[in-house]
DNA sequence: GTCTATAATTTGATAGAC
DNA sequence: GTCTATCAAATTATAGAC
């Protein structure tokens, strides 16, 4: 039977949850071990038992976010759904961040900060964007019952992701979630 | 003749320059009085002579950025240029941030951080977005020789700004400036 | 796995001399 | 307008007991 270091890993999860919330509100530089510890209900020294340093915590946080995001949007090759339905699902993931989480997309935030991030954190942010572009290119390959041109699809993927990330920022900055909806509506009509 | 507190205001300008660069790289929370002072070549106590606290420095920085940006993009009612030309100029301003400054749009960064910003800084960021949306709506009112529908124009303004701010993030995160160009090309064909 | 205690550094900010 | 000196608090991080 497999050995396991801990039963539930609940503290590590809780740390990542709090760190993610902080980063999605104020960015990587606004994440603090003390405040994480306070929120989780432990001491900051205990956080270092789970993550060697802030860079590794940041990288784990970004990696977990990316993995969860990719799982949410599903398989871009799923033959059971159309390109339009896949795009709708992608838009829904951003909408969820805005309206349910009421936070930025973590990697959108990290992307904006990219030049100031420790190497491992920056790499995880980069990975998120590359995964998203690939996913969108695959999902948008066939829309309207037709197979599109590769360069067009690449451009559309970039536009979709740019518009949604930007719409998150604008909606949150203006405090008007309908701004996101109006962008999303146009994005979904793009394909 | 008008009294004036100082001749050139050069230190104040230098402080704002450095603060802006720091904020556009790492966000508001990564701006530090000590590091500003080091870069300018003064002591951190001297920075407090020009700005009472970090919030006021941040607000002044955002205000100056907005004013400069609006001046760069010009008069949206200028009868000498078409809506298409105005949009091209708007896109150019974002392109300049990416390729010349090699930094984020300051207010795009502050917009992402909005929930974690001191009140005055957040208000300046909000002002930037409202000014931009208004500018775009005015500039895009007449394109292709026709006057568009108000709701369409509002939506287009939001999409243009969202896409460009998002494209800045994606291009910087992936390290590929052509990603911005591909988004910009589609945005300019939108009108 | 969590704690106390602590180190070394950085942070925003103030008082007061020049 | 800039400086020295200083402060209280916060930061990342470590050592070692339990």
Residue A2 lies in a domain: no
Residue B54 lies in a domain: yes
Residue A156: pLDDT band by 50, 70, 90 thresholds?
A: very high
Residue B160 lies in a domain: yes
Quick check: B168 and A169 in contact, CB under 8 A? no
CA of B126 to C1' of C15 (A): 36
Which residues of chain A lie closer than 8 angstroms to B26, CB-CB?
Answer: 27, 29, 113, 115-116
Distance of CA A153 to the CA centre of its chain: 21
Q: How far apart are CA B36 and CA B14, in angstroms?
A: 9
Question: A residues 115-134 near B, CB within 8 Å?
Answer: 115-116, 125-126, 128-130, 133
**In CATH, what number is assigned to the domain containing residue B93?**
1.10.357.10
Instruction: Give the per-residue pLDDT at A191.
Output: 87
Distance from CA of A2 to the nearest CA of B (A): 39
The residue range of the domain holding A184 is 10-188
For A9, A104, A108, B87, B120, the CA distances from B188, given in Å and listed in that order, are 50, 27, 23, 7, 34
- Domain tally for chain B? 1
| pLDDT digits 0-9 by tens, A80-94 | 999 999 999 999 999
Residue B64 lies in a domain: yes
Instruction: Give the per-residue pLDDT at A3.
Output: 41
Residue B4 lies in a domain: no
Distance from CA of B165 to the nearest CA of A (A): 5
Residue B2 lies in a domain: no
Quick check: A53 pLDDT over 70?
yes
């Amino acid at each position: 039977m497999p050995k396991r270091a801990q039963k539930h890993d609940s503290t590590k999860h809780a740390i990542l949850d709090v760190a993610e919330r902080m980063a999605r509100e104020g960015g990587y530089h606004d994440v603090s071990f003390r405040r994480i510890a306070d929120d989780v209900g432990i001491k900051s020294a205990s956080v270092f038992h789970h993550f060697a340093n802030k860079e590794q915590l940041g990288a784990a946080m970004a990696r977990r976010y990316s993995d969860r995001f990719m799982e949410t949007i599903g398989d871009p090759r799923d033959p059971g759904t159309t390109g339009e339905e896949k795009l709708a699902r992608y838009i829904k993931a951003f909408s969820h961040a805005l309206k349910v989480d009421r936070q930025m997309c973590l990697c959108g935030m990290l992307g904006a900060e990219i030049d100031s991030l420790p190497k491992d954190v920056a790499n995880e942010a980069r990975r998120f964007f590359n995964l998203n572009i690939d996913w969108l290119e695959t999902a948008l390959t066939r829309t309207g019952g037709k197979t599109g041109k590769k360069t067009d699809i690449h451009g559309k993927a970039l536009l979709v992701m740019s518009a949604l990330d930007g719409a998150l920022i604008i909606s949150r900055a203006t405090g008007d979630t309908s701004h996101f909806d109006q962008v999303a509506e146009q994005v979904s009509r793009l394909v």
